Copies of this chain bind each other. A is one copy, B any other.
Amino acid sequence: MSMKRLTTEDVARIAGVSQSTVSRVLNDYPYIKKHTREKVLAVIEELGFTRDEIARSLVEKRTKSIGLILGSISNPFFAETAEVIIERAQQLKYDVIVYNTGHKDENLEQAINLLIGKRVDGIILTSVSKNYTEKIKKLHDNGFPVLLYNSFLEIEDVNFIVMDNNKGARLAVRHLLGLGHEKIAKISGPSKYLATYERTLGYKQELTENGYEIDEDLIFNSEFSYDEIYSFTKKLLKNKDRPTAIIAASDQMALAVLGAASSLDMKIPDDLSVIGFDNIKLASNEFIGLTTISQKMDQMSLTALEKLIYMIEHKEEAASSIQIFLEPELMIRQTTGPAAKQDRV
């Protein structure tokens, strides 16, 4: 039996003032008699009244909500991102509506539409595929604050914050070449993501520049599915001329690779070196010790939120676009080591 909600009208009646006065008290309007203000506040306190933010949003044409569209929250990369963004947003009095696309384009489209319908003040968007270039551009051109996170699009003005993926991949390859690896596999995300594409490109370039031929059989363009990567890796590692090292497109993927290798009783890094991307917190856990390319995630997500809020609260300013590339960093840990001598199975 849910009670009728209290309104400013109710407060006004009991306090013996008008609804407008109550509203003014709530908004710290200066021209209110001290006595009146105190009386109203007392009634508010006594009744436990709370403002209806929905009605307020309708009038003020803003919701103090932002949308956060993630590929998959159960991937620690997204989870850690979400944590930073949500906590900072809360401090800034914004709340965060989270969507999980499962990396499916149709979910991304639905999420955007629903968020626009809910009148969020802005959206942070991870993992945008090339297929959505037009849609994002339209939003942006309408003056709607959107920020691409860990992904970018080849559009003039759109805002993004992303790592230099090409360079990251090169760091990984260089590290492995230095350890004597010559057969290095690349497990890549879907090529519809430019970030993913860039990583594969960097991998190829660095190999080529060092005089190696590209073996396309060593490159796997997967969806971000644990199971798929797990089985692919198992198959790959059962080959007679299996690679001695694998670069995964994310730490999450690297864990799938490690799992697959372990299930074949391979020793890491003696039998196989593995590198991830992201540097999730778990990567530095000594029990795991994953070598990876660090994205400086905390900085990236904090910046993303603050830039978005800035865009929201300074719409009138000439919208200079925000395009940030962060430097990747190689974190060497225990999953990479010297290439095994030619003791192929």
Contact = CB atoms under 8 A, between A and B. Distances in A.
Q: What is the count of identical protomers in the complex?
A: 2
A54 B58 contact: yes
A80 to B, nearest CB: 5
B119 A52 contact: yes
Contacts of A113: 50
Interface residues of A, number: 63
Interface string A245-258: 00000000001101
Nearest to A86: B100
Given A90-B110, A97-B96, A263 B281 contact: no
A52 B57 CA distance: 11
A322 interface: no
Contacts of A87: 100, 102
A98 interface: yes
A286 B315 contact: no
A143 B100 contact: no
A121 to B, nearest CB: 11
Contacts of A268: 287
Contacts of A255: 282, 285, 287
Contacts of A63: 54
A261 B287 contact: yes
Contacts of A142: 2-3
B288 A288 contact: yes
Contact of A1 (B73, B114, B143): B143
Nearest to A285: B259
A117 interface: yes
Interface string A111-131: 101111111000000000000
A50 B116 contact: yes
A228 interface: no
A263 B286 contact: yes
A76 interface: yes
A74 interface: yes
Given A53-B117, A97-B97, 14 more contacts: A2-B144, A3-B143, A52-B119, A54-B54, A54-B58, A74-B79, A76-B76, A86-B98, A87-B100, A90-B99, A97-B98, A226-B281, A259-B285, A263-B286
8 contacts: A52-B58, A54-B63, A73-B73, A86-B98, A90-B107, A95-B118, A97-B98, A260-B286
Interface of A: 1-3, 50-55, 57-58, 63, 65, 72-74, 76, 78-80, 82-83, 86-87, 90, 95-100, 102, 107, 110-111, 113-119, 142-144, 226, 255-256, 258-263, 268, 281-282, 285-289, 315
